[in-house]
Structure 1
Amino acid sequence: MTLKELKAHFTNSLSDLYPSEEIQSFFTILSENYLQLSRIEIALNPAKEISLETKTIFQKALLQLLNNEPIQYILGETEFYGLPFKVNKHTLIPRPETEELVEWILSEVKNIQGIEGEFNILDIGTGSGCIAISLAKNLPTSIVSAIDFSKEALKVACQNANDNQVEVHFFQADILKTAQLPKQYDLIVSNPPYVREMEKKMMQQNVLKYEPDSALFVSDADPLLFYRVISQLAKKHLKPNGNLFFEINEYLSEELRVFLKEEGFQNIEVKKDIFRKNRMIKCNLHERP
């Protein structure tokens, strides 16, 4: 089988399930990983013979794609904020909007003048570790810690920290059952579960079938559950003028803004992502309540 024939088979098999641009992207990504061929090299080498072993690997990936499995889980890795990250069924696949949250945090922290002593950061619900590790990589003098309730997710996060050569202090805890955090922090960030059960009908099957429900969904009756718990902990464990950042549900930004104001947070700012959706919020406490 030639590379051209492999691509034609791959494309025809997926044409009823995915847009053509996405199929092309899948084939390019798999070719880069399994054949070490770029998109241009694929175009320039249509007659390249494909081994039986390679054909078998592509066929396995094809079957997984036909079953809506995300390409990131098929490969076991993805990229976030320019860094490589391992991912699996125990971790969410990092999203572009979360990269925007990291960018916002970095721009805010780098604008802080006269930082003295340790600058402590805590990431709550770290998953693959993408937020914590990206911050540690770009703020090398900071001390970054991260919490998750899942032992399996923390294994992935620890590997990602090692792969990216940064130090992050990971520890296991169920934030909904946590009364105290280990210390005081200059910055607390969280991308908690925020998708309401009612919103499942708007989501793709590859998310619903494969990504961990516990990292995505909250009940319709209490959609701000994690924000409420984390903000209460932040009130006790943020240093004076320390900042709290959240990724948020676009439909609940006003409810969350009002809640944080009632809790005594100040300088509340909602930020839109590149799709003009309310996706991030920042606030702080000037004085300990």
Structure 2
Amino acid sequence: MKIEAIAEQYKIELESVYGGEEASALFGLAVEYVLGLSPVKLKISKNHSATFVEVQKLLSILNDLKIGKPIQHILGVAHFYGAVYEVNENVLIPRPETEELVDWIINDHAPVRMQNLKVLDIGTGSGCIPVSLKTYLPDFDVKALDISPEALTVAKRNAELIGAGVEFIEGNILTYESEMKFDIIVSNPPYIRELEKAKMHHHVLAHEPHLALFVTDEHPLVFYQAIAEFALKNLNPTGHLYFEINEYLGEEMIKMLAGKGFKNIELKQDMQGKDRMIKVTISDETV
């Protein structure tokens, strides 16, 4: 069967669900996974014929996509900051805005070339944040915390596969205590309010872990408050606290952090112009 014919079938059956452009992108990911054809090679290989087994794999992926299963869960992998991560239903699929958060931290600290800075990622999920930081800041001592043992299993495998020496800790940040001190604390905690569910794509609601996504409408900053309190006790005087945040709650975050005495509060927008990241310190003096 010609690749061009399968591409047309993907377009016809997925366009009403995802739109034409995304349907084409999903087909490209499927073909790269099954046939090993990059997007560039795919453009010049429309007359390429797929074997029976390859066709069956592509059609199986198509059937899963039609019921809203994320392509990353179908393939079992997601791309993040130049590496490939294992993902499944126990972890959030890494997002581009989280790549921007990682990039912010790396750009802040790589030029200084300070060795042995201690880092803690809270709510690590797939491990994409700490593994990326350890990869690009190899001299740093990187740890990661998560409440889910299933998520930690995935994160540990990702660290091993990518070759990043990250220490993983099972714990609930709402009750977790430690005597350890850190120079960088980073978190992308649950921040989507129940009232925002109606705006979300059904495949996220059906296939991604709600534990890592949602907070109540009454207490949307519950995890940020807990992490901020932890940072007040466990962040070194010249350290930095980084958050990925709900785009609608930037002002509330600034007010909360200022109320707890944090300094140098910097709200940063992502590439789509949304309030998505915050950096703060506990001291006016930073390195």
TM band (smaller chain): over 0.9
Rounded Cα–Cα distance in structure 2 between residues aligned with 1:13 and 1:150: 36
Q: How many residues align?
A: 284
Rounded Cα–Cα distance in structure 1 between residues aligned with 2:69 and 2:80: 19
Rounded Cα–Cα distance in structure 1 between residues aligned with 2:201 and 2:15: 17
Structure 1 residue corresponding to 2:180, chosen from 165, 179, 183:
183
The 5 Å alignment of 1:1-289 reads: 1-112=1-112, 115=114, 118-178=116-176, 180-286=177-283
Rounded Cα–Cα distance in structure 1 between residues aligned with 2:227 and 2:178: 10
8 A Cα contact 2:186 2:242, kept in partner: yes
After superposition, the CA RMSD in angstroms is 1.5
One-letter amino acid of the structure 1 residue matched with residue 58 of structure 2: F
One-letter amino acid of the structure 2 residue matched with residue 211 of structure 1: E
Rounded Cα–Cα distance in structure 1 between residues aligned with 2:69 and 2:42: 24
Rounded Cα–Cα distance in structure 2 between residues aligned with 1:111 and 1:10: 46
Change (3 A) 1:266 1:43: closer
Q: Percent identity?
A: 42
Q: Is the partner of 2:104 in helix, strand or coil?
A: helix
Rounded Cα–Cα distance in structure 2 between residues aligned with 1:172 and 1:273: 30
How much has 1:240 moved relative to structure 2?
1.0
Deviations 1:225-275 (A, max 9, x none): 001111111111011111111001111111111111111111111111111
8 A Cα contact 2:127 2:155, kept in partner: yes
In structure 1, stretches of 5+ residues that fail to align are none
Rounded Cα–Cα distance in structure 1 between residues aligned with 2:134 and 2:38: 31
How much has 1:286 moved relative to structure 2?
1.9
Rounded Cα–Cα distance in structure 2 between residues aligned with 1:234 and 1:44: 53
Deviations 1:75-117 (A, max 9, x none): 111111111111111010111111111111112223547x4x6
Change (3 A) 1:146 1:56: same
Change (3 A) 1:285 1:43: closer
One-letter amino acid of the structure 2 residue matched with residue 155 of structure 1: T
TM-score using structure 1 length: 0.94
How much has 1:177 moved relative to structure 2?
2.0
8 A Cα contact 2:10 2:24, kept in partner: no
How much has 1:2 moved relative to structure 2?
2.3
In structure 2, stretches of 5+ residues that fail to align are none
How much has 1:56 moved relative to structure 2?
1.5
Rounded Cα–Cα distance in structure 2 between residues aligned with 1:43 and 1:246: 39
Rounded Cα–Cα distance in structure 2 between residues aligned with 1:201 and 1:132: 31
One-letter amino acid of the structure 1 residue matched with residue 136 of structure 2: N
Change (3 A) 1:172 1:182: farther
